[in-house]
Amino acid sequence: MAKSLYSGMADFQDNLYKKDWLIEQGNLFRITLKDRVYPNALIGKNGWMEYTSDGNIDDFQNVEEFKNKEDIAKKITSLNQYLNEQGISLVIVVAPNKASIYPDKLPDQIKPLSAQTRLDSLISYLGTNNPPLILDLRPALRAARQEQDVYYKTNTHWNGYGAFTAYTKIINVLASSHPELQPYEAADFNLVTTDPGVQDISKLMNANFIKESSLYFTPKTTMVHTEQPEDYSGYNQFSQIPDSDLPTLLMFHDSFGATYLNDFLSLNFKKSHFIHLTSVSQYLNKESIQHFNPDIIIIEIVERNLEQLNRYLPDILPE
């Protein structure tokens, strides 16, 4: 009887007439009343929204210790040593949480519990490398936000300005070992501003009445040929510049790479292979590395998921 009743209630909820519209109207009423806390989202100051799942707020507040830091550092060091033996450069790029760049947009009650973040802790544990194994983009993005916003107000990702800032920093760091790499300048691109649309945090909130324009850059001239297989969670982009003597890139990324960064980076490499982090075990091994024959490997991961590196990084021992 209870099972039948639960099934009937679930069916009623799934098929309730105008269910999504009713939820949206309820959220509109809550926002009018200045309610700030929603499933998977938080409304901060001046309409800035923060993603609250995946431990995002806990990561900002430094709630927990970095439990597997030593294991991750060991894997990074071992992988780097093996790649160096093959003449391959490794850089792990950490895309900052939005709250790391815009802490002032959070409610005043949400503050870090300690000064050192997990990213700080990992960088300190690994020590200083030149170029750095862990590329911390926070200083560059904090400086850039003084000129223009580098993240969306209603999206957890950086916008075109933020991705361009990250791209510039990455290429400048890689140039120390590959001097032929020089970043393009903003003047080489056209800024595209779309009509306002519903961004990812607004969607999570069922607040489709909150819209924001997307900002991104497109090259003024065709610089690269790109193919995108329909496999977002695997090998999802191949780019090449014909008759080029530039290096070859093998990049593993999450949604921050897919949000403009991959397209920027493809402009500076003879061949660029882009693979989602969820498929890293299939492609980050000795056989695949020999197949792709990259000069540079980039592993991009968002700050809140740093501990996932222990799962993503392979146990590749130097030869």
Of 50 and 115, the structure prediction assigns the larger pLDDT to 50
In which band, very low, low, confident or very high, does the pLDDT at 15 lie, cut at 50, 70 and 90?
low
Residues 6+ apart with CB under 8 A from 184: 219, 264, 267, 268
Phi, psi of 129 (to 5 degrees): -125, 155
- For 195, the token pair is 């009509």
Please, which pLDDT band fits residue 32 given cuts at 50, 70 and 90?
A: low
Tell me how far apart the alpha carbons of residues 8 and 68 are, in angstroms, rounded to a whole number: 45
pLDDT in tens, 133-142: 999 999 999 9
- Encoded tokens for 84: 């160096």
Tell me the sheet residues that pair with 49. 43
Residue 57 tokens read as 């707020």
Asked if the bond preceding 179 is cis, omega within 30° of 0, the reply is no
- Token pair of 223, please? 């610089």
Name the region of 260 (left: φ>0; alpha: ψ -120 to 50; beta: rest).
left
Tell me the backbone φ, ψ of residue 156, rounded to 5 degrees: -80, -10
Residue 23 has pLDDT above 90, yes or no: no
Give the model confidence (pLDDT) of 282-311 as tens digits: 999 999 999 999 999 999 999 999 999 999
Output DSSP code: residue 49: E
Alpha carbon 140 to its chain's center: 15
Q: What is the pLDDT of residue 4?
A: 47
- pLDDT for residue 6: 47
What are the beta bridge partners of residue 134?
92
Task: Map out the domains of the chain as residue ranges.
Answer: 36-312
pLDDT, mean of residues 175-179: 94
pLDDT surpassing 60 at residue 14? no
Q: Which helix (H) or strand (E) holds 215?
A: strand 215-219
14 vs 103: which has the higher pLDDT: 103
Helix crossing, 118-126 with 69-85: angle to 10°? 50
- SS3 letters across 291-316: HHCCCEEEEEEEHHHHHHHHHHCCCC
pLDDT at 173: 96
Question: Rounded to a whole number, what is the distance in angstroms from the first to the last CA of the chain?
Answer: 64
pLDDT (tens digit per residue) in 86-135: 999 999 999 999 999 999 999 999 999 988 999 999 999 998 676 789 99
Q: What residues does 37 pair with on adjacent strands? A: 42
**What is the rounded CA–CA span in Å between residue 72 and residue 318?**
16
DSSP at 196: P
The values of phi and psi at residue 186, to 5°, are -60, -30
Judged against a pLDDT cut of 60, whether residue 33 lies above it is answered with no
Indicate the pairing of strand 41-43 with strand 49-51.
antiparallel
Q: Residue 21's pLDDT is what?
A: 59
Structure tokens at 273: 């292979």
Residue 8 predicted with pLDDT over 60? no
Residue 319 has pLDDT above 90, yes or no: no
